[in-house]
Amino acid sequence: MSKSCNVLLIYPPHRDKVSASEVPPLGMAYLASFVRKQMGDACILSIWDLNINRISQQQFKEQLRSFDKKPDIIGIGGIVTVFRHFLWISKICKEIFPDALLIAGGSLASTASHLLFKHSPVDVCVKGEGEFTFLEIIQKAAQGSGREGLRNVNGVFLWDVDRQEVIATPARKASFDLDIFGMPAYDLLDMGKYVTDFSGYSRDLPAEIRAAENQHMPIMTSRGCTDRCTFCYRQFAAIRMNSASFVKKHILYLHEHFGVNVFSFIDELFNISEKRINELCDCFMELKNKIPNFYFRAEGRADIINIAMLKRLKEAGCFQIIYGLESGSPKMLQLMKKRLTVEQNRLAVLAAKDAGLHCVPQFLIGLPGETRETLAETIKFIESIDLWSYVCIHKANAYPGSDIYRYALEHGLIRDECAYVSSLADSASYPLQLGKISQKEMMAMVRKYLIKRQARLIFRSHNVMTGIILFIAWLFINISRKLKTAKAKRSVRA
């Protein structure tokens, strides 16, 4: 290489407010690890996580100006909800370092490159998996190749000034060997911000999980998904997995360096097959002898789960399984292209309960085709599974890259793309009525169910007088919280 290359990677806030538990920018950390492995001292990398380290625009300017490693390349990436913050971050970066090559990555760059080129000073957008593409861009920059050289890089979007449109170079094949990327560059992150305990989590969890001495960390063991659900904005390649031995090594590293003993597997499809689960569980059984109080939780598809698999997971240290059931309506499951039946959803929940696992079903309401009748089916289904632990009911939003985003555009529901995608930074913003039921009526039905459910939960465990007091207290807290949120929204609009 003719010269060393300074690279600054910036992870924007993915919502306006910090959530209770933040996942580190693992995509950037994997990318940094791979580039450093390939280029050594020829590339100096830094990661700024502005999602966990919230600062004002003025503070960001000052931090950039005082940065002692003048960047040749600045990479900004994340999920689609970072768009609002991407705009001001990218503009400040170009203002202070006008000669730096500005690269966008993550699902935002893959699904909304046209908005980034139109509304930000970005030079290039990386499509899909970024390690090899980003490495090639850095290598060309280190060799003194100008921006024209980017046209020879596969897997990027560029802006054609003459035609005023986005052009795409040939797609880059995804790597099926995830082990070659190594472990994330944890040394570039302030790990104290991400390693947390479970003491503040649901009291439905066993006491040994919520113990304050437990240290928790998210981890990935695979990439990709077999499905193409209409609401999903992620554009996956085929499923690729780290080897079980690599996963074991990764877990031991996190335990030895940061004291982690509770892990959240955030793979899109953790239970891809029984063979995979058995391989991982063999490793987990070994880890239980090396890591005191080793526990984990994972997400899974309901149609791949069976009682034997769940019991094996329980034995290996699993305490919680999260299902994306999405709906209790056959019609809605079909419209979502979920490839699941209501009965499969029911059996998956019952199997988790029989295996002694804490089960968290997630539901998505308000998608195109949703009616009062289909929502009633979902609520009836939730009641029928008699699950008294945590239940997640989310309202649907249309995200760039998803089928329902295209639906919203085609039906004139989104008039200003920039304004709409910017609004996604607000986790409480659901500006579109995608279904045939109004949001007001939809939430009234959900609220009625939740109140009834909470009453049942309380009176199951307490006598009548205590139950009445606790139920009134619960109502007061939730009404106060709702009024506080409404007041905050009014002050923002003012």
Structure tokens at 30: 């994997």
Task: State the pLDDT at residue 471.
Answer: 74
Report in angstroms the alpha-carbon separations of 274 from 279, 300, 313, 439, 494: 9, 12, 11, 40, 55
Domain 5-168 has CATH 3.40.190.10: no
CA diameter of the chain: 78
Give me the amino acid identity at 397: N
Phi, psi for 240 (deg, rounded to 5)? -125, 145
Measured CA angle at 26 (ends 85, 76), to 5 deg: 30
Task: State the pLDDT at residue 424.
Answer: 93
User: What's the CA gap between 298 and 281, in Å, rounded?
Assistant: 12
Domain 5-168 and domain 195-437, same fold? Reply is no
User: What's the CA gap between 384 and 378, in Å, rounded?
Assistant: 10
Alpha helices in 411-463 (DSSP H): 417-423, 439-461
pLDDT for 178-202, tens place per residue? Answer: 999 999 999 999 999 999 887 666 6
Task: State the pLDDT at residue 203.
Answer: 64
User: What's the CA gap between 163 and 157, in Å, rounded?
Assistant: 14
Structure tokens at 217: 């960390």
Nearest to 121 by CA among 90, 156, 75: 90
Domain ranges of the chain: 5-168, 195-437
Task: State the pLDDT at residue 492.
Answer: 35
Task: State the pLDDT at residue 493.
Answer: 39
Report in angstroms the alpha-carbon separations of 247 from 37, 250, 282: 19, 5, 11
User: What's the CA gap between 364 and 155, in Å, rounded?
Assistant: 32
User: What's the CA gap between 64 and 48, in Å, rounded?
Assistant: 11
pLDDT for 408-462, tens place per residue? Answer: 999 999 999 999 999 999 877 888 999 999 999 999 999 888 888 777 777 777 7
User: What's the CA gap between 406 and 387, in Å, rounded?
Assistant: 35
Residue stretches of the chain with pLDDT short of 50: 1, 488-494
Measured CA angle at 11 (ends 8, 93), to 5 deg: 50
Domain 195-437 has CATH 3.20.20.70: yes
pTM value surpassing 0.85: yes
